[in-house]
Amino acid sequence: MTVDGALVEARRRIGGDSPGTDARLLLAHILGRDRAWLLAHGDALLAPGASARFEHLISRRALGVPVAYLTGEAWFYGLRFEVTRDVLVPRPETESLVDRVLAFAHARPAGAGLRICDVGTGSGAIAVALASRLPQSSVDAIDVSPAALAVAERNVKAHRLEGRVRCTRGDVLEGSSGVYDCIAANLPYVPAALIPGPPDPLAFEPRAALDGGPDGLTLYRRLLRRVPERLAADGMLVLEAAPPTIGALAELTRAALPGARVAIAPDAGGSDRLIVAERGAGEREAPAS
């Protein structure tokens, strides 16, 4: 079968929203080529081994397995990350969280390094993206899952950031110490009853990275109990959630950080996705709970 013929058949079998893109990504992965090569060599014949491997990946993709798990990689903020079934696949909408932290950092005095905490780091995508663009800052990357932390550590090493990103096992802010200039978190926020089954791609991702409890905010409540004593008096907290629960999360954040400026911010697609809370230097510290 030719490259073009294989792609046509793959698109038919995959279906869904982006069958053409998925098919090209998987074939490029099998062949070790890029999209431009596929376009220029549509009449090239596939070797039997390559054809069999492509058939295997297409069969799994047709069942709903995310492309990133089939190729073992995903791109986030222009950087390549290893991903396994132990971590959530990095989402484009989460890049807006990184944008907010970078804007906060760039508004600080020139040369000022920040102490940042990435809570629920998963693959380490947020921590690595921030450290790679803030060379004077340090990032603590925390996750409760040892398997996820192993993936994050490999990604930190791949981007040569071992000296500035520290991966630590802990539940929310446990496992770390001190005060942070910025705390960022993309914790599980899907209500338990709404986690779908196959063939939805979410069904193949780790449930622990999705399940936010009955209303999707259980983990955030636990985090917000610890934030007041761990966030600097002029620090910023950035949380990612889903549009249906973002209003409730904003109210929880206001209650946890009285006096802070708390706003709901959109992602790049215009959906309400982020809570951005900025403390003023004169804000009264909330008591630890």
Q: Please tell me whether residue 139 adopts helix, strand or coil conformation.
A: strand
Q: From the DSSP assignment, how many helices (H) and strands (E) are in the chain? A: 10, 9
pLDDT at residue number 231: 98
Confidence of residue 110 (pLDDT cuts 50, 70, 90): low
Same domain, 49 and 164: no
Characterize the bridge pairing of strands 261-266 and 272-278.
Answer: antiparallel
Peptide bond into 258 cis (omega under 30): no
Q: Which of 281, 217, 267 is nearest to 98 (CA)?
A: 267
Which range of residues forms the domain containing residue 241? Answer: 73-278
Same domain, 210 and 78: yes
Q: Please tell me whether residue 253 adopts helix, strand or coil conformation.
A: helix
Round to whole Å and give the CA distance between 141 and 196. Answer: 28
Look at residue 287 and tell me if it is in a domain: no
207 φ/ψ angles, rounded to the nearest 5 degrees: -60, -35
- Give per-residue pLDDT as tens, 38-96: 999 999 999 999 999 999 999 999 999 999 999 999 999 999 999 999 999 999 999 99
Same domain, 133 and 55: no
Structural domains counted in the chain:
2
User: What CA–CA distances, in Å, run from 136 to 101, 112, 131, 161, 279?
Assistant: 14, 7, 8, 12, 22
CA 64-70-73 angle, 5° bins: 125
Token digits of residue 178: 């001190």
Same domain, 170 and 81: yes
Token digits of residue 28: 């490029």
* Element spanning 24, H or E: helix 19-31
Round to whole Å and give the CA distance between 34 and 55. Answer: 19
Give the CATH number for residue 39: 1.10.8.10
Same domain, 126 and 232: yes
pLDDT at residue number 111: 61
Same domain, 91 and 181: yes
Round to whole Å and give the CA distance between 170 and 24. Answer: 39
Same domain, 105 and 230: yes
Same domain, 247 and 119: yes
Same domain, 22 and 58: yes
Same domain, 23 and 45: yes
Give the CATH number for residue 231: 3.40.50.150
- Give per-residue pLDDT as tens, 201-212: 999 999 999 999
